[in-house]
Chains A and B, each alone.
Chain A
């Protein structure tokens, strides 16, 4: 049984790859959306922080002997703490200025971080092993499913939904959304808005680092791994619009799948398909699929 002359194994394999890419798009665009909602800043450093997460996992293993599971907890905390420091010392001074300055500052930080890592580790990747518990795979009859890839899709889906729940369904999330609408009023109710902003940025950064740890065994740990991804994630964000958390998640996974399908049917366009979709969405619905017109 073939689909348009494509054997089902190849099709499903590419769909799985697309789903994994989509998981990373979703996690990263979710972090960008959360940060943008609160800080009104597009965090260009997001890709570098994702890369830092992967490197943190590598350092933990090679210098402290702490494996994958520890890295999954410690790397986001560590990189998130760096994010908190960045917010406290730099981003804080930009809130009253044009949004573009935030983009420029975080772009500069991304260059600094990438340059430092490239200096130290060159541009070739460092290997990171799949943890013993997740090696091997399942034979589903119609295709072979590596355990680690299934794990990545499931855990990223869980993290995305947990973030959605946190922001849309809890009291803390309500404060957060209220502070996005009117920070002065929320502060007048006795809620420490500046601290909430700091923690939001830290959380968004931690999410990027978490994605980086998940990515380490799939892609190699590479100083350049974030810089190319971040531009695609920007396109994802433009397509989805940053108004909705669920929108970011759906757009991320959806575009990953579309990219996977393109790899099967028209491989030449696989690197550009997301950008083409972005252009089309902008022409038809400028606010993005889930965006609110400002």
Chain B
């Protein structure tokens, strides 16, 4: 069985994990583990972080040879703190992630990614190898290219089951291997059913939507997902522009920081740019409406919702905002609102 490295944030470069000889294992908040995390943290904390910690506390995880945490938001910082307490013997590394994207920040993040890579090779007693890292990045980029092709097709036509199929590929890259995801992606490029009409084309964005079944539900509720931007969907498969810099870690840093950022990452030259990016992506994917789905207590997203709402209003793009807690149950409660929204879109 492959040795696994656990991680929780989309700013974790999977190629570094694989280059060091590990398999990636993104810890999804998908568990029936009892709610215990609130005792170590607080109940008013992101349900993603709490559920991940619940999994650790209930031993609901495969054997992990180490954990990567990213200092991407307060909740993630607190998760790293709590993990020390819950699993004191686990090797842990916390990567400091800048909030802005200037040259100094890219330099700093490239050093952090280099520190991460060296730590991973050391954990596996493997000699550090830039070549292995570059090879794994090449492989990763093939998956990224396939995902882009699938998304392009999704934005043009509705193919039943295509969105959940894409999510399965992305989840495979996150929890098994890039190779396996690539094989799936190449197969998935051929839809099983012809394109259909009649559903409302909608762009989805938010922080966490990882369960393929959710995408099937959306289709049942008359939504044609034209594209999505979540830290668990295509944003996770960040293509790495290896030509951007001779230093591979700097190339990684600039790719992760400059491509479709999470709400917590800002371009200081364009404050509030996330709102414009969502408008552009909605238009580019031919969506008629936008649905935002965020977890409760997610400060980075919730603080930007008013500006996103304003930008969409300005472009007369209908917007539906939903909040949830990672469970399918919380999504089920949204059915009526989603169906009403698609009806309103007039398809």
Chains A and B come from one and the same complex:
no
Binding site for A on B (CB under 8 A): none
Binding site for B on A (CB under 8 A): none
